[in-house]
Amino acid sequence: MLNFLRFSQFIQKTFAFWVVLFAALAMWVPEAFVWLKVYITWMLGIIMFGMGMTMKVSDFKGVLKSPKAVLIGVIAQFLVMPGLAYALCKLLQLPAEIAIGVILVGCCPGGTASNVITYMAKGNVALSVACTSVSTLIAPLLTPAIFYLLASQWIEIDALSMLSSILQVVLFPIILGLIVRALFKNKVESYITLMPFISVVAIVLIVAAIIGGSKAQILESGLLILAVVILHNGLGYLIGFWAARWFQLPYADSKAVAIEVGMQNSGLGVALAAVHFAASPITAVPSAIFSLWHNISGPALATYWASRKDPDLRNKD
């Protein structure tokens, strides 16, 4: 078991490498991965179930300890990223199918990877966990509502159907995971250690499935989508950080908010695109590329922040 845990930690630390590797393999031999598309919602459900199993009541106590910081983080999450997505789509005059995909990933809640990246960046991990938990739990309402508001000019949106999808692949698995942990407690502890590894494998396969199924569209528009994703992600970090500083949050909290805002649950974006926009495969590509990119930019940003001294502590010296 110890050897497996070491292997699992190695896979998690090299997450970005595996995403890039399997994305490249999917471009080379798409038929090896495209069949996985029908299992995307199931894989995301497993990830969310694992998230539920790792959640504790103490995670939500963080909301009570620092309600201002959590409120700022969650509001920024659902204002900054959707707003940036819409602005980029308008500014760059993106084709409708790509614009819908960019706005969809922008409307998703924060990703669970943000908690790990916040830890690497020496940010406030408890705040990151609280923001992720709250944004994920309210996503079934806010994600379809904001997406409908911003994307309905490009395509007819069935917000209720999207709400149903998010309930099925996000909220229900999380609640089930919470129930399983509450009922079995010590018995599930050993299984919880497996969940990060399973999540990494599932996300890598989800990205590979979408890339493999959209090879032709990526060859045509991949560089444009990558440029938009890099701008979206980078501006999310930047605006999230300075919004937190503007509200006078501590440096460690501001790092957590910035990472929470910049990193999206792109797996959810892929799953929603696969279910609701199956006729246009390229709609899922922004989410897939976002998953690829933020697992490169996140560790890079964390490494930079971890090497810098906290200016709040410097001012006290």
What are the C-alpha distances in Å from 257 to residues 138, 168, 217, 275, 316?
17, 27, 34, 30, 23
- pLDDT bin (cut points 50, 70, 90) of residue 312 is low
Closest CA to 208 of 39, 13, 27: 27
Over residues 252-256, the mean pLDDT reads: 92
* Residue owning tokens 């495969």: 281
β-sheet bridge partners, residue 264? 110
Most confident region among 54-68, 153-167, 243-257 by mean pLDDT: 243-257
Q: Which amino acid is at 65?
A: K
pTM, rounded to two decimals: 0.84
β-sheet bridge partners, residue 159? none
Tokens of 157: 């949106």
- pLDDT bin (cut points 50, 70, 90) of residue 293 is confident
Closest CA to 14 of 301, 296, 315: 296
- pLDDT bin (cut points 50, 70, 90) of residue 190 is low
Does the pLDDT of residue 23 top 80, yes or no? yes
DSSP letters, 119-181, are HHTT--HHHHHHHHHHHHHHHHHHHHHHHHHHHTTTS---HHHHHHHHIIIIIHHHHHHHHHH
What are the C-alpha distances in Å from 180 to residues 49, 53, 56?
9, 7, 12
Q: Which amino acid is at 52?
A: G
* Residue owning tokens 């471009």: 27
Q: Which amino acid is at 235?
A: L
Neighbours of 68 (CB within 10 A): 11
- Alpha carbon distance 71, 66 (integer Å): 9
Tokens of 71: 């409120």
Does the pLDDT of residue 231 top 80, yes or no? yes
Instruction: For the chain, list the domains and their CATH numbers.
Output: 18-307 (1.20.1530.20)
Is 268 in contact with 169 (CB distance < 8 Å)? yes
β-sheet bridge partners, residue 22? none
Tokens of 145: 């509502």
More confident residue, 63 or 181: 181
- Alpha carbon distance 75, 136 (integer Å): 12
pLDDT in tens, 37-57: 888 888 878 877 877 777 666
Question: Would you state the pLDDT for residue 72?
Answer: 92
For CA atoms 170, 171, 173, 175, give the dihedral sign: positive
Tokens of 43: 């894989």
- pLDDT bin (cut points 50, 70, 90) of residue 199 is confident
Question: Would you state the pLDDT for residue 79?
Answer: 94
With pLDDT > 70 as the criterion, what percentage of the chain qualifies? 91
